Structure 1
Amino acid sequence: MTRQDHEAFGRQDGVDVAIPATLPKLRGLDHTLPMLRQGYDFIRTHCDALGVDGFRIRLLGKDAVCLRGPEAAQLLYGADGLTRKGAMPATVLRLLQDKGSVQQMEGAEHRRRKALFIRLLMGEGRVDALVRGFEAAWRSQIRPGLNITVMELANNALARAACHWVGLYPSEGRLARLTRILFDMSDRSGHFGPGTLKTLWQRRGVERWIANEIRAGKAPERSPLTILANEMPPDVAAVEALNLLRPIVAVGRYIAFAAKALHEHPIWCGLFNSGNADYIPDFCEEVRRTSPFFPFTAAMTEREVTWQGATIPAGTRVIFDIHGTHHDPRFFPQPDRFRPERMLDWTLDDPAFAPQGAGDVATTHRCPGEAATLALMSSAVRMLCCEMRYDVPEQDLSVAMNRIPAQPASGVRIRVHSID
């Protein structure tokens, strides 16, 4: 694509940025399989090749637009005329959110339900209570001589802490099964096949169990589960309870990436262990920027919208490239270098840094759990660096960029020597 093909050029941080009058279309009848094969790099690669920040494709037989950059984040998180309804493939929706959940709502209905989630996840003492439960569950698993993957260690601790924090107290056997199902809900979201169908079936069983627990009135009075039950029918409250539990367990993937980063950049663990724990959040924010977690987020246009001079028709799926934006040198110089000294901060208004969304958490579809995510990651990093001594045996720490969601291949296996 040449300059003559574009209506205008802008500049961001000294870099030419093409602003197309019409979004270019990739060749081919459908791009679903190429996107799955290329994974996290699909949008970024084609944007770079075309010299634009957006292009059109056919996805699952329908028109879609792929976008990157902070303007794309602002479009997906705050612009009028977009909805999350119909944006996700049915299996992804059922695994991650389900119908009737907060993410499928819009307008006043969404703001009311979102206010409830903010109260549950960001209210006074809520994050601290979750972190205390996580740390107790983590420490209960650690002993000298233990061989375990950090992902398993984190998942087990997160699931136990999340259940008790929500107001659920499953037996040890049920908790072990629930931990695997909660992990699989996220892990299967980028795949299609028998394993996905099995996890969908298992999710339904978990929803029924939670709904029965709600009807039995077993949860503590001020627990999130009781608060949800007071606001909506048991079946809906069970769905929303899972939308608390599943994302908390999914933080284990970030913790595994943090352990990988500690191994590859040991200077940071030494820094934290020598009385500089205040820098742990900076480290964790850089993990969130660099780690291939969920690559994209999507919305549907309810009416015609405009982005960078290009018209996007009604009924178009719009896909925002989270991973590509986080690795764009215009916004993050030397993006492939791990640099916690960037001092990223999710609380600042920076749409280029959007690991869990952008914009105002109360009025947009931005995740209200970022404070909890960062606190749990920071707690795990502190315990890895300051409370235990371990080594990392030789293993495969590679990350397959066509696996969605991605993870270190080995899960980051460690051998514990001592506990401080």
Structure 2
Amino acid sequence: MPDSTAPLLLKGYAWLPDLRRRAHDVPAVPVRLLGKRGTALHGKEAVDFFYDEKHVRRHDAMPGPVLDTLFGRGAVHTLDGEAHRARKALFLDTLKDPARVAALARKAQEEWDRAEADWRGRDRVVLFHESARVLTRAVHDWAGVPLPADEEEATARDLVAMVDGFATVGPRHVRARLARKRQEGRLARLIGELRSAGLPPEPEHATIARAVAAHVDADGRRLDPHTAAVELLNVLRPTVAVSWFLTFSAHALHRWPEHRALLAADERHAWGFAQEVRRFYPFAPFTGGLAATDTEWGGVTIPEGSLVLLDLYGHDHDPDLWPDPYSFDPARFTREGVVIGRDDLVPQGGGDPAAGHRCPGEDITLALLAALVPRLARLPHEVPDQDLSIPLSRVPTLPRSGYVMERVRAEAPAPVG
């Protein structure tokens, strides 16, 4: 079987859907990546199979370059069984609490309003970079992580770099590694300071930073400072990564401006719009693990220890799940009688977040988008000529220009009466 590493790097998001088309859309396709045999899975039944620890494990599954950029060595993403459940509880307690999620959304709105006042005094604003700074300030304040004003821009740049460079080689990847090293060092020092100052007896009522510092793993021990820093980054970094979805939201509003009025008039439309942005635009192409035992799925034999990939981008554009999948239609989430199954939409993974490896931060992503996209829709600005194409060969991708805004103005007051 030929190795597909080079085609993956060349095609990006299109690689796995193209592979499946050539195989006549079968649910399981043999692959080889980085010289390692594997199987790529597609479909709702594949989601159940992939997130069952009897079939797929995470330990030793993540390539070193991904750990050294995106997730970090020793992260919750690399654990299985009781070790995973004990560590995951830390994230479920902090990221699935509706009050905490709402508090972060409010802080993000406050930081957006501050930033918007600044944008009105500038000739040009690149939304992707500015939204990353907004989210960096908001999540640090919310998580209880000090961030001096003169470090805001560099920290935002590092948090973006860790996401931007995980799936490539060359300068982007080097920047991501260096960014992670800097941020892990900064947060490990903070963990040490928090522990030296004393921790609250009930960490679930503490800030996120203090909860991480106080967390006790399945072995009855606190996380070492490096691993605690890794997990604190796994709260900060994904929150700042919502800047990708905010930029895609601006792209959608530019292409389909009729949604501006709908966002202003109907709060539920903001939720549907956020869901459709996550479905429509490319975020993660696939996720992976290792076969826990010799098994078979979709007519393909899967040997123990081989790669198992779950198609995410293709799943979210599957016409059997999403009629007319390349039409941007937020109403598909809000129409009367619509029921979206747990594993119908998987831009950030599938399965049960409480029992498996699904991202526990989806509620935060949705809350931030629902809170900020209406502000973006109401923001008067001009869109100069720029390259708004979205290259599917680049992972993670983005409109090439980052969405440039000019002549940002104050929102017109609502009419009286």
Same fold (TM over 0.5): yes
Deviation track 1:21-68 (CA, whole Å, cap 9, x = no partner) reads xxxxxx52x110011111111111121122112211221011011122
Q: How far apart are residue 100 of structure 1 and its match?
A: 1.6
Cα RMSD for the two superposed structures: 2.0
Matched, 1:130 2:120: no
2:12 corresponds to which of 36, 39, 42: 39
Please state whether the residue corresponding to 2:380 is helix, strand or coil.
strand
Of 295-304 and 336-345, the range deviating more from structure 2:
336-345
Q: How far apart are residue 347 of structure 1 and its match?
A: 9.6
More strand by share: 1
Contact 1:349 1:359 in 2 (8 A): no
Contact 1:219 1:226 in 2 (8 A): no
Structure 2: distance between partners of 1:100 and 1:403: 27
1:168 corresponds to which of 145, 154, 158: 145
1:7 equivalent in structure 2:
none
The 1:211/1:255 distance shift into structure 2, 3 A limit, reads same
2:28 equivalent in structure 1:
54
1:83 corresponds to which of 46, 57, 61: 57
Deviation track 1:247-278 (CA, whole Å, cap 9, x = no partner) reads 001010011001100111111111222x2222
* Percent identity over paired residues: 35
Matched, 1:397 2:388: yes
1:178 equivalent in structure 2:
155
Contact 1:138 1:153 in 2 (8 A): no
Contact 1:57 1:63 in 2 (8 A): yes
Q: Which runs of 5+ in 2 are unaligned?
A: 201-205, 216-221, 413-417
Please state whether the residue corresponding to 1:63 is helix, strand or coil.
strand
Contact 2:53 2:81 in 1 (8 A): no
Deviation track 1:377-401 (CA, whole Å, cap 9, x = no partner) reads 1112111123x32222221110000
Q: Note the 1:3-402 alignment, pairs <5 A.
A: 28=2, 30-51=3-24, 52-143=26-117, 144-146=120-122, 147-217=124-194, 222-231=206-215, 232=222, 233-273=224-264, 275-343=265-333, 348-386=340-378, 388-402=379-393
The 1:272/1:344 distance shift into structure 2, 3 A limit, reads closer
Runs of 4+ residues deviating >4 angstroms: 218-221, 344-348
| Counterpart residue type for residue 291 of structure 1 | Y
1:10 equivalent in structure 2:
none
Structure 2: distance between partners of 1:79 and 1:348: 24
Aligned residue pairs total: 391
Structure 2: distance between partners of 1:398 and 1:219: 51
Q: How far apart are residue 348 of structure 1 and its match?
A: 4.8
Structure 2: distance between partners of 1:138 and 1:156: 9
Structure 1: distance between partners of 2:371 and 2:293: 44
Deviation track 1:264-296 (CA, whole Å, cap 9, x = no partner) reads 1111111222x2222111011011001111111
Q: How far apart are residue 350 of structure 1 and its match?
A: 3.5
1:4 equivalent in structure 2:
none
Contact 2:38 2:302 in 1 (8 A): no
Contact 1:285 1:374 in 2 (8 A): yes
Structure 2: distance between partners of 1:59 and 1:100: 23
The 1:291/1:128 distance shift into structure 2, 3 A limit, reads same
Please state whether the residue corresponding to 1:414 is helix, strand or coil.
strand
The 1:287/1:220 distance shift into structure 2, 3 A limit, reads farther
Structure 2: distance between partners of 1:246 and 1:128: 18
| Counterpart residue type for residue 361 of structure 1 | P
Structure 1: distance between partners of 2:89 and 2:46: 25
Q: How far apart are residue 79 of structure 1 and its match?
A: 4.8
1:18 equivalent in structure 2:
none
Of 65-74 and 143-152, the range deviating more from structure 2:
143-152
The 1:220/1:348 distance shift into structure 2, 3 A limit, reads farther
Deviation track 1:204-224 (CA, whole Å, cap 9, x = no partner) reads 221121111222227996111
Please state whether the residue corresponding to 2:245 is helix, strand or coil.
helix
Contact 2:333 2:340 in 1 (8 A): no
Q: How far apart are residue 87 of structure 1 and its match?
A: 2.4
| Counterpart residue type for residue 408 of structure 1 | P
Deviation track 1:84-111 (CA, whole Å, cap 9, x = no partner) reads 1232221112211122211111111111
Structure 2: distance between partners of 1:32 and 1:369: 30
| Counterpart residue type for residue 72 of structure 1 | A
Structure 1: distance between partners of 2:121 and 2:45: 50
Deviation track 1:225-268 (CA, whole Å, cap 9, x = no partner) reads 11111122322211100010110010100110011001111111
Please state whether the residue corresponding to 2:322 is helix, strand or coil.
coil
1:417 equivalent in structure 2:
409
Q: How far apart are residue 309 of structure 1 and its match?
A: 3.5
Structure 1: distance between partners of 2:214 and 2:34: 39
Q: How far apart are residue 193 of structure 1 and its match?
A: 1.9
2:218 equivalent in structure 1:
none
Of 310-319 and 400-409, the range deviating more from structure 2:
310-319
Contact 1:225 1:237 in 2 (8 A): no
